[in-house]
A and B are shown apart, each in its own frame.
Chain A
Amino acid sequence: MLTRNLFRRPRNKLEDAGANSMARPEIPGQLYASCPNCKAMNPAEELSRHADVCPKCQHHFRVSARRRIALTADENTFQELWPTLRGVNPIAFPDYDKKLVSAREQSNEVEAVVVGECQIGGIPACLFAMEPSFMMGSMGTAVGEKIARLFEYALEKSLPVVGFCVSGGARMQEGILSLMQMAKTTGAVKRHSDAGNLYVAVLTDPTTGGVTASFAMEGDITISEPGALIGFAGPRVIEQTIRQKLAEGFQRAEFVLEKGFVDMICDRRDLTDRIAGLLKLHRREAQE
Chain B
Amino acid sequence: MFAKILIANRGEIAVRVIRACKEMGILTVAVFSEADRDALHVSLADESVCIGPAAATGSYLNMAAILSAAAVTGAPAIHPGYGLLSENPRFADLCSRCKIKFIGPSADVIRLMGDKDEARRTMREAGVPVVPGSDVVASVGQLREEAGRIGFPLLIKARAGGGGRGIRRVNSEDELERAYLAATAEAGSAFGDGAVYMEKLLEKVKHIEVQLLCDMDGSVVTLGERECSMQRRNQKLIEESPSPAVTPAVREGLLEAAAKAARAVGYEGVGTVEFLLDRDGKFYFMEMNTRLQVEHPVTEMVTGIDLVKWQIRVAAGTPIPFQQSDIKLRGHAIECRINAENPQENFRPCAGKVSLLHVPGGPWVRFDTALYQDYVIPPFYDSMIAKLIVHAPTRAEAIRKMQAALCEMVIEGVDHTGWMQAELIAERAFEDGTYTTDYLSGR
The interface of chain A, by Cβ under 8 A from chain B, is 1-4, 6-7, 9-10, 12-18, 20-28, 31-32, 41, 43
**Separation of A18 and B372 alpha carbons in the complex (Å):** 37
CB–CB A21/B1 < 8 A: yes
Q: Which of A6, A14, A25 contacts B98 (CB 8 A)?
A: A25
- Chain B residues with CB under 8 Å of A41's CB are 62, 64-65
Report chain A residues within 8 Å CB of B94.
Answer: 31, 43
A28-B97, A31-B94 given; A20·B25 CB < 8 A: no
Interface set of B (CB-CB < 8 Å, partner A): 1-3, 22-26, 38, 40, 42-44, 46, 62-65, 67, 70-71, 74-76, 90, 94, 97-101, 313, 316-318, 372, 374
Determine how close the nearest CB of chain A comes to the CB of B375; give it in whole angstroms. 8
Q: What residues on B are CB-neighbors of A12 within 8 Å?
A: 22-25
| Smallest beta-carbon distance B426→chain A, Å | 37
Contact A1 B374 (CB under 8 A): yes
Instruction: List the 3 shortest-distance A-B pairs measured between CB atoms, nearest first.
Output: A23-B76, A14-B25, A41-B64
B313 touches A25 (CB 8 A): no
CB pair B76–A25 under 8 Å, yes or no, is: yes
Select one of B3, B67, B70, B76 contacting A31, CB under 8 A. B67
| Cα distance, A2 to B97, chains bound together (Å) | 36
Contact between chains at A2 and B22 (CB < 8 Å): no
Q: Which residues of A contact B374 (CB under 8 A)?
A: 1
CB-CB nearest in chain B for A1: B38
Rounded to whole angstroms, the CA-CA distance of A15 and B46 in the bound complex is: 17
Starting from the known contacts A16-B1, A18-B317, A21-B2, 6 additional A-B residue pairs (CB-CB under 8 Å) come to: A1-B374, A2-B38, A6-B43, A14-B25, A28-B97, A31-B94
**In the complex, chain B residues whose CB is within 8 Å of the CB of A26:** 98-99
Please state if A2 and B372 are interface contacts (CB–CB under 8 Å). yes
Q: Are A31 and B97 in contact (CB under 8 A)?
A: yes
Q: How many Å from the CB of B225 to the closest CB on chain A?
A: 30
Are A25 and B75 closer than 8 Å at their CB atoms? yes
When A20-B317, A25-B98 are in contact, do A14 and B76 touch as well, CB less than 8 Å?
no
The CA of A4 and the CA of B46, in the complex, are separated in Å by: 10
Query: How far apart are B128's CB and chain A's nearest CB, in angstroms?
Result: 34
- Per the bound structure, the CA–CA distance linking A18 and B316 in Å amounts to 9
Residues of B near A43 (CB, < 8 A) are 63-64, 90, 94
Distance A10 CA – B374 CA, assembled complex (angstroms)? 26
Supposing A21-B3, A25-B70 touch, asked if A14 and B99 sit within 8 A by C-beta, the answer is no
15 CB-based A-B contacts, threshold 8 Å: A2-B40, A6-B43, A9-B46, A10-B25, A16-B316, A20-B76, A21-B3, A23-B2, A25-B70, A28-B98, A31-B64, A31-B94, A41-B64, A43-B64, A43-B94
Check A7 against B43 for contact (C-beta < 8 Å).
yes
* Interchain nearest-CB distance for A5 vs B (Å): 8
Q: B26 to A14, Cβ gap below 8 A?
A: yes
Inter-chain CA distance A13–B91, complex, in Å, is 30
Whole-angstrom CA separation of A6 from B349 in the bound complex: 30
A20 in contact with B1 (CB, 8 Å): yes
Instruction: Assess the B99–A23 pair: CB atoms within 8 A.
Output: yes
Structural contact, A4 and B23, CB atoms closer than 8 A = no
What's the Cα separation between A20 and B2 when bound, in Å?
6
- Tell which of A7, A10, A15, A27 touches B71, judged by Cβ atoms closer than 8 Å: A27
State how many angstroms separate the Cβ of A44 from the closest Cβ of chain B. 10
Q: From the candidates B23, B26, B98, B318, name the one contacting A27 in the complex (CB within 8 A).
A: B98
Query: Chain A: which residue is nearest B97 at the CB level?
Result: A28
Q: Which residues of A contact B74 (CB under 8 A)?
A: 24-25
Taking a contact as CB atoms under 8 Å apart, the answer to whether B43 and A15 are in contact is no
The reply to whether B313 and A16 contact each other, CB–CB distance below 8 Å, is yes
Contact of A25 among B24, B62, B64, B99 (CB under 8 A): B99
B97 x A15 contact (CB < 8 A): no
Question: Which chain A residues border B70 with CB–CB below 8 Å?
Answer: 25
Chain A's closest residue to B45 (CB) is A7
Query: With A2-B372, A9-B46 known to touch, is A25 a contact of B2 (CB < 8 Å)?
Result: no
Complex: A17 Cα to B71 Cα, angstroms: 21
- Give B318's nearest chain A residue, CB to CB: A16
- Chain A residue at minimal CB-CB distance from B72: A25
Residues in A with CB closer than 8 Å to B317 are 18, 20
Kindly state the separation between the CA atoms of A181 and B399 in the bound complex, as whole angstroms: 90
Q: Shortest CB–CB separation between residue B6 and chain A, in angstroms?
A: 9
Q: Chain B residues near A25 (CB, 8 Å)?
A: 67, 70-71, 74-76, 98-100
Identity of the chain A residue whose Cβ is nearest the Cβ of B76 in the assembled complex: A23
Residue of A at shortest CB range from B375?
A2
In the bound complex, do residue A18 and residue B38 qualify as a contact, i.e. CB atoms below 8 Å apart?
Answer: no
Residue in A10, A15, A17 whose Cβ sees the most chain B Cβ within 10 Å: A15
Most chain B CB inside 10 Å of its own CB: which residue of A7, A13, A18, A22: A7
Specify the chain A residue showing the minimal Cβ separation from B101.
Answer: A23
Kindly report which residue of chain B lies nearest to residue A15, judged by CB atoms.
B24
B64 touching A32 by the CB < 8 A rule?
Answer: yes
Bound Cα distance from A158 to B62, whole angstroms: 53
A26–B313 alpha-carbon span in the complex (Å): 22
Measured in the bound complex, the distance between the Cα atoms of B45 and A10 in whole Å is 12
State how many angstroms separate the Cβ of B378 from the closest Cβ of chain A: 14
Bound Cα distance A102, B64 (Å): 31
In the assembled complex, the Cα of A16 lies from the Cα of B321 at a distance in Å of: 13
Q: Is the CB of A31 within 8 A of B2?
A: no
Q: Are B67 and A27 in contact (CB under 8 A)?
A: yes
**Least Cβ distance of B50 to chain A in Å?**
14
Which residues of A have CB within 8 Å of B64? 31-32, 41, 43
A11 to chain B minimum Cβ distance, whole angstroms, is 9
Chain A residues with Cβ below 8 Å from B318 are 16
| Chain A residues closer than 8 Å to B316, beta-carbon distance | 16, 18, 20
Shortest beta-carbon distance, B276 to chain A, in Å?
Answer: 37
B63 proximity list for chain A (CB < 8 A): 43
Report B-chain residues with C-beta under 8 Å of the C-beta of A4.
43
